[in-house]
Structure 1
Amino acid sequence: MNVLFLQTAAARAVALGLMLGAVLAANVQAAPVAEADLRAAVAVAQPERAVLQAVTRAGARLVAVGERGLALYSDDQGKSWQQARVPVSVTLTAVHFASASQGWAVGHFGTVLHSADGGKSWQRQLDGKRAAALALAEVEARAKVAPAGDAGVAKALANAQRLVADGPDKPFLDVHFFDARRGLIVGAYGLIFATSDGGQHWQSLAAQLDNPQAHHLYSIAVGGNAVYLAGEQGLAFRSTLGGGPFQRLSTPYQGSYFTAQADEHGNVLLAGLRGNVYRSADQGASWQQLTLPAPVSVVASSRSSKGMLLLANQAGQLLASSDMGQTIRPLATPPLPPLTGVLQLDDGQLIVTSLRGVLRP
């Protein structure tokens, strides 16, 4: 979940845009340009070298997503990449496939995309305007049956009204589908939605979370019969695959957790700002802090089919654990740019996404 990267890139883009605008304004009247959520991603000569945010599997295929609506796919284990057809130009932050063909990607402007052909083409299922309206409708329904003067509902209503007033600018930051029909997405300002029909319809689950300040939700992790959420200011939740309510977990760290992993044995790992990593062996009831080689923010993680846990940080370092975080070791790799995603293939080959594209270190 790479909000820090996106903010830095956005700041540079704004600065450059202001300079160019000052030069051109005196000579040329620019033609109106559609917002990024209304125009298709343009073809890029070398999309594998662009800023990419996440990579995943779609069966034997690899799929990566990133800035300006870029979605790429590779059928040769990441040696070469092709650009997919995408109807938006917003930054895409996360991608997940429930099967070799059925996948979903999320990103800025409240964007949710669906692919039915293994990532070759994508169609929009949700946008920020509709997401905000759904969030408001959910709170308004609660307000009708809540006791008069309920402070929690009043706060939730104010947050939802603000979402609508702000417009469709809030990003989704992670997505997970349990199968081809049931999925979950989370994002900035406490956004959380679920679907039970493959994304045709979405329902806000904000009422299930003890998150009155609408803190950002960065990551979804699934292990065994449990679902975990991780976010800013030490925010963490646990629920069940059966759709039970989300229980807020008490964690020792009050900073941001950007990524989470879990396994079928009740082990959970939360990692984030300044290299803070915490491990639980009892589904989040208690936590142990882990020590990393450097206090650098961990922004991405993954687990291989063989159970290998991988962490990636902003310094371009990769860390690995074969025992779900009990011991962590740095991997010997060539110098890498700031990383945003990591994946290990069945043959041990690593695939990473970064500010300089997708790499095979």
Structure 2
Amino acid sequence: MNKKLSVKALVIGLGFSMAPIVASAADASNAPAVEHAVKAPLAEKSLLLDVERAGERLIAVGGYGNIVLSDDEGSTWRQAQSVPARVTLTAVDFVDEKRGWAVGHDAVILKTIDGGENWTRQYFAPEEERPLLEVQFRENGRIGYALGAYSFRLVSNDGGKSWVSKDLADNAETDLGMPIEYHLHQVTKASNGVWYMSAEAGMAYRSLDKGETWDRIPPPYDGSFFGALPLLGESVLMFGLQGSIYRTDDGGDDWTEIANASTATLNSGLIMDDGTVVLVGNDGAVLVSKTGGQSFQAKSLNDRKSVADAIEISGGKLLLVGEMGARTITLGQLKGDI
């Protein structure tokens, strides 16, 4: 099957194809994750894969260790002052306006204590050859989870000072009951305290203890999921390859497919302040629901640039990040049904 992968999955493939070149051309002291991110004009227009709010500040991460900050709702951006990584950063999570973590290729984990201005490296394992794709912290930043390619999972109980691998139960499968060659893509926290994890090949998981243990909740679908979006109560959407959307209204026990007109891979989603549900994805796909996620209109950006993540900003606008960098739009600017 000719699958269209998520933006992050495509970056994984690019990263691995480049790894042998890097290893042969440079010694360990010059490895990308040891170097610092390069200062560049228009850094906010380069590849960005995740965006997070830290207080009033927006922080986005992406290619070549790029971390950009905005204090005016995305109108202007500047690069972080110090980032000890030049590999692709894939995800970022903040527990308050000052403390946050970013993860990426070479299994790098970075921490900031000043709202993203400066970062220190807490973990780095290029020998694993397994990029990290997600990071989540709880307990006021004490307990953290990082996960990614080939079922790689790390756990910290001391604010990221030390990390322990939690991925393998035997040589064939992980302790999540999935083959080790599968990727773990995203963890989402619901308001009722339940966590959901999306993964490859129809794998989906639910945690009732904030990530300590996981139970499989497989929807009737064998394609990859790249994200989950908790709705009201026990309702959750999971989405991924070729516009696939599945909905549960009982916390993950029973699932229903939500038909829509898009065939684009879906990467992330959000609920806007007015209740509008938005999913974003490859080829500029922006799916909009005014029915609480019961049905969707398939719209798109005019230039069809792939979108990795989105967040609502002031004035009911959306800030998108992806292959075009950071961009602010209104829903009214989108092209009609596709």
Rounded Cα–Cα distance in structure 1 between residues aligned with 2:102 and 2:177: 26
Instruction: Give the greater-gyration-radius structure (CA).
Output: 1
For residues 248 and 334 of structure 1, what CA distance do their matches in structure 2 show? Answer: 38
Identity rate, percent:
32
Q: Distance in 2 between matches of 1:80 and 1:37?
A: 27
The letter for the 2-side match of 1:211 is: M
Confirm or deny: 8 A CA contact 1:267 1:281 kept in the other structure: yes
The code of the aligned residue for 2:155 comes to: A
Which residue in 2 is equivalent to 1:220? Answer: 187
1:211 counterpart residue number: 178
Counterpart residue type for residue 254 of structure 1: D
3-state SS of 1:258 partner? strand
Q: Please name the residue that 2:128 is paired with.
A: 168
2:32 counterpart of 1:49: no
Q: After superposition, give the CA deviation of every residue in 1:316-342 in whole Å (9 maximum; x if it has no partner).
A: 121233554212234575444111111
Which structure 2 residues correspond to residues 115-134 of structure 1 after superposition, within 5 A? 115-128=112-125
Partner of 1:252: 220
Unmatched tracts of structure 2, length 5 or more: 1-5, 170-174, 330-338
Counterpart amino acid of residue 83 in structure 2: V
Q: Is contact 2:259–2:295 with CA below 8 Å preserved after alignment? A: no
Asked if the contact 1:304–1:345 (Cα under 8 Å) also holds between the matched residues in 2, the reply is no
Asked whether the equivalents of residues 225 and 264 of structure 1 are also in contact (C-alpha less than 8 Å), the reply is no
Which amino acid is 1:38 matched to?
V
Shift of 1:357: 1.0
Mapped to 2, the partners of 1:286 and 1:217 lie a distance apart of: 22
Query: In the alignment, which of 156, 179, 186 is matched to residue 195 of structure 1?
Result: 156
- 1:120 deviates by 1.0
- Report the counterpart of residue 93 of structure 2 in structure 1: 96
Amino acid at match of 2:244: N
Question: SS at the partner of 2:33?
Answer: helix
| One-letter amino acid of the counterpart of residue 39, structure 2 | A
**TM-score, scaled relative to structure 2:** 0.84
Letter in 2 for 1:176: Q
Q: Read off the aligned partner of 2:149 and give its amino acid letter.
A: A
TM-score (structure 1 length as normaliser): 0.79
After superposition, residues 243-322 of structure 1 pair within 5 angstroms as 244-263=212-231, 265-304=233-272, 308-322=276-290
* Separation in structure 1 between the aligned mates of residue 277 and residue 156 of structure 2, nearest angstrom: 28
Distance 1:180 1:294, change over 3 A: same
Q: 1:2 is aligned with what amino acid?
A: V
Q: Structure 1: how far apart are the matches of 2:11 and 2:62?
A: 10
Higher helix share: 1
Spell out, residue by residue over 1:137-185, the C-alpha distance to the aligned partner (whole angstroms, 9 max, x if none).
Answer: xxxxxxxxxxxxxxxxxxxxxxxxxxxxxx2321011112233222222
239-248 or 350-359, which deviates more:
239-248
- How much is the aligned-residue C-alpha RMSD, in angstroms? 2.5
**Cα displacement (A) at 1:114:** 0.8
- Which position in structure 1 is the counterpart of 2:141? 180
Equivalent residues of 1:2, 1:258 under 8 A apart: no
Q: Which moved more, 1:203-212 or 1:285-294?
A: 203-212
Q: 60, 66, 82: which is aligned to 2:56? A: 60
Post-superposition Cα deviations, 1:95-154, rounded to whole Å, max 9, x if no partner, equal: 11111111111100001111111111111111125xxxxxxxxxxxxxxxxxxxxxxxxx
Task: State the alpha-carbon separation in 2 of the partners of residues 227 and 219 from structure 1.
Answer: 10
- For residue 231 of structure 1, report the CA deviation from its aligned partner: 0.6
Structure 2 Cα separation of the partners of residues 233 and 40 of structure 1:
35
Among 193, 197, 202, the alignment partner of 1:234 is 202
Structure 1 SS opposite 2:283: coil
Cα contact 1:190–1:216 (8 A) shared by 2: yes
Residue 8 (structure 2) aligns with: 3
Structure 2 Cα separation of the partners of residues 106 and 304 of structure 1: 26
